[in-house]
């Protein structure tokens, strides 16, 4: 068991980051190399600057989807916006400097804890509800159900498992020590002897992290690649 903890706790993080970063770079470089003749879809922005703004609207507000399927838009936008917040929030787990910075801005430790518990806790609940509704929609609506394959359900379930284990840590009895994770990620990031290994003894944390790294590695090689692709595909059809 110690051996497994060591592999997952010390080696998997490096592999996951390498696979994710390498995979995304490979995708983007490959895309960039391919010819992209104009295939303008109107109404199209007149200038490249306006096209970039249009793409930003698509990325931040899912502009096209807003016109296409309003119900899906509400669910998908909520899901992704909260996901972005949660990813940001996780930096507090990776490094102590988030708390240090907030402290310098005048927030007391208690206030930071309250914010983390309140906003983070709410985010965990909201994203789980959004995900569940997305899954229900996928199963209930014929037009989505009939094009959904095993791999599509797998992606949703994997994300669901990451969220549930994350929530279990926050709301469960076995809460982890923030100090330990700071030490742990700091030593990973500095390629130092990995300290704070005790945090891996927290089973829920262990499973949560393990699944999260799997998910990260899954991104460049699955439909979640839309995370990178959306930066390009709208430009392709809207450029004049």
List residues near other proteins by CB under 8 A: 27, 30-31, 34-44, 58, 62, 64-65, 67-69, 72, 76, 141-144, 146-152, 221, 223, 225-226, 229-230, 232-234, 236-238
Report the Cα 142 to chain-centroid distance in Å: 28
Which distant-in-sequence residues (6+ apart) come within 8 Å of 124 by Cβ?
86, 163, 166, 167, 170, 171
Q: Provide the token pair at 165.
A: 């284990």
The residue (of 37 and 49) whose beta carbon lies closer to other proteins is 37
The residue (of 31 and 186) whose beta carbon lies closer to other proteins is 31
* 126-142 burial code (b ≥16 CB/10 A, e <16): bbbebbebbbebbeeee
Judged on CB neighbours under 10 Å (0-12, 13-18, 19+), 109 is exposed
Cα(177)–Cα(185) distance, integer angstroms: 13
Write down the least CB distance from residue 166 to other proteins, Å. Answer: 22
Q: Count other Cβ atoms within 10 Å, centred on residue 152.
A: 14
Which distant-in-sequence residues (6+ apart) come within 8 Å of 172 by Cβ?
204
Q: Provide the token pair at 75.
A: 């669910």
- First-to-last alpha carbon distance for the chain, in angstroms, is 59
The residue (of 77 and 186) whose beta carbon lies closer to other proteins is 77
Report which DSSP code applies to 8.
I
């Amino acid at each position: 068991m110690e051996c497994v903890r060591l592999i997952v706790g010390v080696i998997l993080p490096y592999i996951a980051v390498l696979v994710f970063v390498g995979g995304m770079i490979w995708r983007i470089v490959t895309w960039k190399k391919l010819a992209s003749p104009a295939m303008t879809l109107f109404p199209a922005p007149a200038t490249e600057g306006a096209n970039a703004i249009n793409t930003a609207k698509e990325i931040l507000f899912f502009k096209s989807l807003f016109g296409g399927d309003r119900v899906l838009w509400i669910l998908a936008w909520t899901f992704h916006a909260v996901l972005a917040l949660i990813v940001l929030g996780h930096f507090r787990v990776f490094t102590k400097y988030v708390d240090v910075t907030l402290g310098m801005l005048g927030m007391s430790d208690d206030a930071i804890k309250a914010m983390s518990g309140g906003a983070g806790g709410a985010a965990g609940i909201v994203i789980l509800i959004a995900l569940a509704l997305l899954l229900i929609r996928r199963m209930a609506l014929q037009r989505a159900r009939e094009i959904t394959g095993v791999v599509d359900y797998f992606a949703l379930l994997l994300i669901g498992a990451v969220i549930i284990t994350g929530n279990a840590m926050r709301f469960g009895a076995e809460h982890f020590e923030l100090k330990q994770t700071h030490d742990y990620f700091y030593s990973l990031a500095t390629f130092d002897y990995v300290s704070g290994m005790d945090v891996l003894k927290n089973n829920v944390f262990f499973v949560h992290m393990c699944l999260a790294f799997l998910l990260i590695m899954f991104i460049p090689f699955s439909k979640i690649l839309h995370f990178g692709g959306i930066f390009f595909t709208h430009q392709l059809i809207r450029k004049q």
